[in-house]
Amino acid sequence: MTLSDHGRARKQQFKRRLGILHATLLRRTLKKRFPAAFNTRWGRSQWIHASLFATIGALLATIIPGFSAQLEPSSQVRTILPLSLPPLTLQAPAAEGPHWEIVQIQPGQTLGGLFAQMGLSAQVMHQILESAANREALTRLRPGAELGFARGEDGSLLGFRFDRSPSQRVELSLAGGKIHEKVLERATTTRIAVASAEITHSLYAAGRKAGLSPASIAVMTDEIFKYDIDFKDVQPGDRFSAVVEETWREGERIGAGKILAATFTTNGKTYSGIRFEHNGKTEYYTADGRPLKKSFIRMPIPYARLSSKFGARHHPVLGKMRMHKGVDYAAGTGTPIMAAGDAKVQFVGQQRGYGNVVILDHGRGHTTLYAHMSRFGKIRPGQHVAQGTVIGYVGSTGLATGPHLHYEFRVNGQHRNPLSVTMPPPEPLKGAELAAFKAQAAPALARIESMEQLMYASAAGNGGKSGGKRG
């Protein structure tokens, strides 16, 4: 036996040991999860299946960040994907098919640039772009998009492949100056997944680990729960769950995933948001059918400093005691100002002390006023604007010592303190719509509940943290 033979034998022995270790670990994990299956001895075929299962598990773990966490008991963040994955399409190399060279579009790269870089003639590219459908797809290429090139021995282009849409792949074969097009339908499937996580250091990190896309996390923080939860105050130990509708293609998630329902538990309180379409608008509602969106947002500019309160004060410009009929927010010139609620634009223009001013009519006797703007947003009187629409920008027009927003809130013509006025709640769903909503909400919330029970029930039992107080 030579030295290298000896080395090889040792390597093989090591591999065998590793295999045994792997099988033992696998058996232990499976036994813990599916004890019933271990009442009988496993036969060879069962082990093959288990091994296959483990391989698929490893595959999943690479596809979905966070899925692997499910197998790690020490981790706080877990995800369960309750439905089966779409079958992976294994592309066997075709016997006489072309060899595809896959190129990813780089930021700022054009198709022309790419063809030139690959030493392909612009003439061929123009020929490909003669088809309107191809032109449309190929001129909108995003960074990261994959193009396939098949070349002959002389380097000429024989085939060109691209994705026309998430579900259509186009293969062009170029032979003798003619283009033959083949469209391959790429099957997409929709899956409902439940993601749940307990925050350890950051909400974002926990969300990503649970398999949520950055866009889905943003929907949760900037849309669903923005009225009820101040995310600056979120603490380790707070948790959230989301039912997400995802589109998959060939084992790959495409798009962000729509959040159908979500719950967020912070400071001992659980908030829920359920997606529902009503009057052509998609909004999030509480479990009993009230819109989460408030009629008014408290501050028409985010993250601004309150520089002057409502009430009697010494006027900084006039130099005498005057009633301050609103509140002031100091912010830099040009900071966008948002409509505090859905409204009809009542006034856009100049008024003496107010400078550039906008008045919005929110119905039911409520109006808001925004003064000292440097310029207006794209709005005109009579127009309906949605809450959050940019109506203008901070400035110091009119009587103002520096750039700030002067904001007034009136109820039936009477000035009220915007910081303490009781805002009218938005209309809840009623009748048939409420029934339809509940039919949709119940199964989604049930999924979250069973998921949370699975994940946190034992923790609540030991630590006395009650999670079952929801109505």
Binding site for Zn ion (CB under 5 A): 328, 406
| Closest approach of Zn ion to the CB of residue 301, in Å | 13
| Closest approach of Zn ion to the CB of residue 381, in Å | 23
Nearer to Zn ion, 209 or 406 (CB): 406
Cβ contacts of 141-146, under 8 Å, gap ≥ 24: 141/105, 141/111, 142/105, 143/104, 143/105, 143/106, 143/107, 143/108, 143/109, 144/104, 144/105, 145/104, 145/105, 146/102, 146/103, 146/104, 146/105
* Lookup: tokens for 305: 């400093």
Q: How many CA atoms lie within 13 A of 31 on its CB side?
A: 11
Nearer to Zn ion, 293 or 404 (CB): 404
Nearer to Zn ion, 235 or 420 (CB): 420
Nearer to Zn ion, 148 or 326 (CB): 326
| Closest approach of Zn ion to the CB of residue 392, in Å | 15
Nearer to Zn ion, 79 or 356 (CB): 356
| Closest approach of Zn ion to the CB of residue 253, in Å | 49
| Closest approach of Zn ion to the CB of residue 372, in Å | 8
Per-residue buried b or exposed e for 178-194, using 16+ beta carbons within 10 Å of the residue's own CB: eeeeeeeebebeebbbb
In the complex, which residue's CB is closest to Zn ion?
A: 406
Nearest to 160 by CA among 109, 113, 98, 90: 98
Q: Going by C-beta distance under 8 Å and a sequence separation of 6 or more, which residues neighbour residue 13? A: none
The beta strands (E) that lie in 166-280 are given as 168-175, 178-185, 188-198, 239-249, 252-266, 269-278
Nearer to Zn ion, 127 or 335 (CB): 335
| Closest approach of Zn ion to the CB of residue 355, in Å | 11
| Closest approach of Zn ion to the CB of residue 328, in Å | 4
Nearer to Zn ion, 328 or 342 (CB): 328
Give the Cα separation of 308 and 1 in Å (integer).
90
Q: In this structure, what are the phi and psi dihedrals at residue 261, rounded to the nearest 5 degrees?
A: -160, 150
